[in-house]
Chains A and B, each alone.
Chain A
Amino acid sequence: MKGRGPESFSLRRDAWNRLIRNRMAVAGLLLLLLMAGACVIGPWISPYTYYEQDLFNTNAPPDRAHWLGTDELGRDLLTRILVGGRISFAVALAATLVSLVIGVTYGGISGYVGGKTDAVMMRIVDVLYALPFTLFVILLITLFERNILLLFVAIGAVEWLTMARIVRGQVMGLRRQEFIEACQVLGYSQARTLFKHVLPNVLGTILVYVTLTIPGVMLLEAFLSFLGLGVQPPMSSWGSLIKEGVALMEDAPGQMLAPSIALSLTLFALNFLGDGLRDALDPRRSEGAK
């Protein structure tokens, strides 16, 4: 594409440079890649499956064969944590994607069209904001057969509100700029102007908010699975593994601690990365805001 001049390229490179100079952000990024990589590849190379039981070797402490020991039914804990991590990452990504698509489109249209349309669209968001949405997700789970696909569509469908608000604010600011007026003068369609010219300029803000949404979605999935409303056994997820571990806490604390550490480390990594991205993409705000 010709329109992308050297200017925008260097801006992006500038942000990247700022990001990799931030030691915590880089550590977060590496840790996240390590976690995600282990969860994707680990279950393939592991000699065990997440459902295979070995009733002669239950609640085993960590050893050569089972690096993190086995659970109540003799299943390899490490494999179950890695498979659970897959679920966590998959749900987080999918739900974030759903919320991204809905939120950006909704907020973009609202901010770009403006006027009465904007007022009505934002009023709807205000009303939806006041709904107890965790319970709403539980209601959705109650109504339909429980499956993972539904879970992340439901989470994504309620997580788009903040994204819509943020995108709308940014788009409103851009709408009056000369290059957008130029698009209008050139007779581009509204949709083309919005999606090809306005929204790419909001990308940085969207990216920052995505890194904030992912941990939120992960926690919601863990919350639901902990309560037994998320993934169904024998499938594992970090939330359900912690729950199983809590029941055996007194005799085998490792079964609770291992998935807990996995979840918290991932949240730490996402937090550092998110903070770093915010500082890198919006240097004006980085002072003081922490």
Chain B
Amino acid sequence: MIRFLFHRLVFQALPTLFVLAALSFLLVRLAPGSPFASERELPPQTLEALNRAYGLDQPMPVQFFRYIGGVLRGDFGPSLRMPGRTVSELILAKLPVSLELGFWSLLYAIFVGLTLGILAAVKPNGFGDYSAMTLALLGICIPAMVMGPVLALVFGLWLDWLPVMGWHTPADRILPVITLGSTYASYIARLARGGMLEELTRDYIRTARSKGLTEAGILVKNALRGGVQPVVSFLGPAAAGLLTGAFVVEQIFFIPGLGETIVNAALNRDQFVILGCVLLFGAFMVFFNTLVDVGLALLNPKIRMTAGRKAKHEG
């Protein structure tokens, strides 16, 4: 397992992050137009002084490695639009809120998705299956930007049951989490249903049935382990989607998260802020994908063995 993890980190996680950093840094620095360009033409001396102050007059490789060196020490550079503020402090101020929203939404999606998926797989083409899959279809075809306002309108403004603004009390979390998590709950429900149905056709399940084990016991103790594997693989992309999807939900429910920072940076062309966010999200994704791989290896001894052999072979 340790060898597997080591292999995964050295040969996949680090190169991915490096490529991401190099690619986005090059894009930012080679893009036409100075980061300081605005409606008002700046005199060339001012531009030169600005470039020197931010180290942008150095050769590209020097700039790049200086930037990477800074990132490794937790310094994502200065904001080019808000003098005196660093990208790190801009991000850190808002990140916890977005992470919390993403975390609850992921939990909600897993819980609801698995429940619906397993329910559907118990009796394929039965009433439970149709209801669960209809719900899943609704969740997929009604994106967060539609579901959020509709939920806010019905449960907030018309029925006045739940708050629709802010991020203070636990009740504030309910509608945003449902809005953000429902699409992913739907995908998880579909994947869980497919995975469970496939697992239930296997020989060992037939053996378990012939031994007279109860159907519920088989479902939870035997089939679930194999059946959730597609769901676990999906958690990597899901986590990434939740993080960016949160921007829309934050706007709808007036939640002070990272989305506003990123949108404003994009509108103001504050390049280092966006660059920092790209790297941060990339690191999250790599972290999550590694976690998912570990989870899959724990669930499935086959993966564990081939991964170990591959690691031995390559390393």
A249 lies within 8 A of B267 (CB): no
B266 lies within 8 A of A142 (CB): yes
Q: Mark B145-165, 1 if CB is under 8 A from A, else 0.
A: 110011011000100000000
Contacts of B277 in A (CB 8 A): 135
Is A264 at the interface (CB under 8 A from chain B)? yes
B138 to chain A, nearest CB (A): 9
B250 to chain A, nearest CB (A): 10
- For B152, the closest partner residue in chain A by CB is A249
Q: How far is the CA of A228 from the CA of B266 in the complex (A)?
A: 10
Contacts of B60 in A (CB 8 A): none
Q: How far is the CA of A83 from the CA of B133 in the complex (A)?
A: 33
Is A192 at the interface (CB under 8 A from chain B)? no
Which interface residue of B32, B247, B265 has the most chain A CB atoms within 10 A? B247
Contacts of B140 in A (CB 8 A): 267, 271
Q: How far is the CA of A260 from the CA of B145 in the complex (A)?
A: 8
Is A51 at the interface (CB under 8 A from chain B)? no
B143 lies within 8 A of A288 (CB): no
Given the known A-B contacts A138-B266, A288-B197, are A267 and B244 also in contact in the complex, defined by CB atoms under 8 Å?
no
Contacts of B143 in A (CB 8 A): 219, 222-223, 263-264, 267
B266 lies within 8 A of A290 (CB): no
Is A130 at the interface (CB under 8 A from chain B)? yes
- For B284, the closest partner residue in chain A by CB is A132
| A135: contacting residue among B194, B197, B244, B267, CB under 8 A | B244
A264 lies within 8 A of B266 (CB): no
Contacts of A130 in B (CB 8 A): 12, 16, 20, 282, 285-286, 289
Given the known A-B contacts A141-B266, A229-B263, are A288 and B282 also in contact in the complex, defined by CB atoms under 8 Å?
no
Q: How many A-B residue pairs have CB under 8 A?
A: 125
Q: How far is the CA of A130 from the CA of B274 in the complex (A)?
A: 17
For window 134-157 of A, CB contacts with B under 8 Å fall at 134-136, 138-144
Is A253 at the interface (CB under 8 A from chain B)? yes
Is A7 at the interface (CB under 8 A from chain B)? no
Please tell me which stretch of A85-93, A95-103, A178-186, A239-247 contacts chain B, meaning at least 4 of its Cβ atoms lie within 8 angstroms of it. Answer: A239-247
| B271: contacting residue among A134, A142, A246, CB under 8 A | A142
A271 lies within 8 A of B137 (CB): yes
Q: How far is the CA of A126 from the CA of B142 in the complex (A)?
A: 30
Contacts of B282 in A (CB 8 A): 130-132
Given the known A-B contacts A135-B274, A139-B274, A249-B153, are A264 and B141 also in contact in the complex, defined by CB atoms under 8 Å?
yes
Q: How far is the CA of A202 from the CA of B282 in the complex (A)?
A: 33
Interface size on A, residues (CB 8 A): 41
| B146: contacting residue among A131, A227, A242, CB under 8 A | A242
Is A226 at the interface (CB under 8 A from chain B)? yes
Is A48 at the interface (CB under 8 A from chain B)? no
Q: Mark A247-266, 1 if CB is under 8 A from B, else 0.
A: 00110010011001001100
Contacts of B190 in A (CB 8 A): 290
Q: How far is the CA of A134 from the CA of B240 in the complex (A)?
A: 9
Q: How far is the CA of A268 from the CA of B136 in the complex (A)?
A: 12
B289 lies within 8 A of A135 (CB): no
| A246: contacting residue among B15, B27, B149, B198, CB under 8 A | B149
B146 lies within 8 A of A271 (CB): no
Contacts of A242 in B (CB 8 A): 145-146, 149
A140 lies within 8 A of B263 (CB): no
Is A289 at the interface (CB under 8 A from chain B)? yes
Contacts of A243 in B (CB 8 A): 145, 251
B181 to chain A, nearest CB (A): 16
A144 lies within 8 A of B145 (CB): no
Given the known A-B contacts A130-B286, A228-B263, A246-B149, are A142 and B240 also in contact in the complex, defined by CB atoms under 8 Å?
no
A246 lies within 8 A of B278 (CB): no
For window 204-257 of B, CB contacts with A under 8 Å fall at 240, 243-245, 247-248, 251-252
B47 to chain A, nearest CB (A): 18
Is B7 at the interface (CB under 8 A from chain A)? no
Is A127 at the interface (CB under 8 A from chain B)? yes
Contacts of A219 in B (CB 8 A): 143
A224 to chain B, nearest CB (A): 9
B263 lies within 8 A of A144 (CB): no
- For B150, the closest partner residue in chain A by CB is A260
Given the known A-B contacts A228-B267, A271-B141, A288-B197, are A143 and B28 also in contact in the complex, defined by CB atoms under 8 Å?
yes
B141 lies within 8 A of A223 (CB): no
Q: How far is the CA of A290 from the CA of B243 in the complex (A)?
A: 27
Q: How far is the CA of A219 from the CA of B241 in the complex (A)?
A: 12
| A288: contacting residue among B124, B149, B152, CB under 8 A | B124
Contacts of A126 in B (CB 8 A): 12
Contacts of A267 in B (CB 8 A): 140-143
- For A143, the closest partner residue in chain B by CB is B31
A227 lies within 8 A of B259 (CB): yes
| B194: contacting residue among A136, A138, A289, CB under 8 A | A289
Q: How far is the CA of A267 from the CA of B146 in the complex (A)?
A: 12
Q: How far is the CA of A81 from the CA of B47 in the complex (A)?
A: 44
Q: How far is the CA of A95 from the CA of B145 in the complex (A)?
A: 21
B263 lies within 8 A of A132 (CB): no
For window 204-239 of A, CB contacts with B under 8 Å fall at 219, 222-223, 226-229, 239
A260 lies within 8 A of B149 (CB): yes
Q: How far is the CA of A222 from the CA of B193 in the complex (A)?
A: 29
Closest 7 CB pairs of A and B: A132-B281, A143-B31, A260-B146, A267-B141, A134-B244, A130-B16, A268-B141
Binding site for B on A (CB under 8 A): 126-127, 130-132, 134-136, 138-144, 219, 222-223, 226-229, 239, 242-243, 245-246, 249-250, 253, 256-257, 260, 263-264, 267-268, 271, 288-290
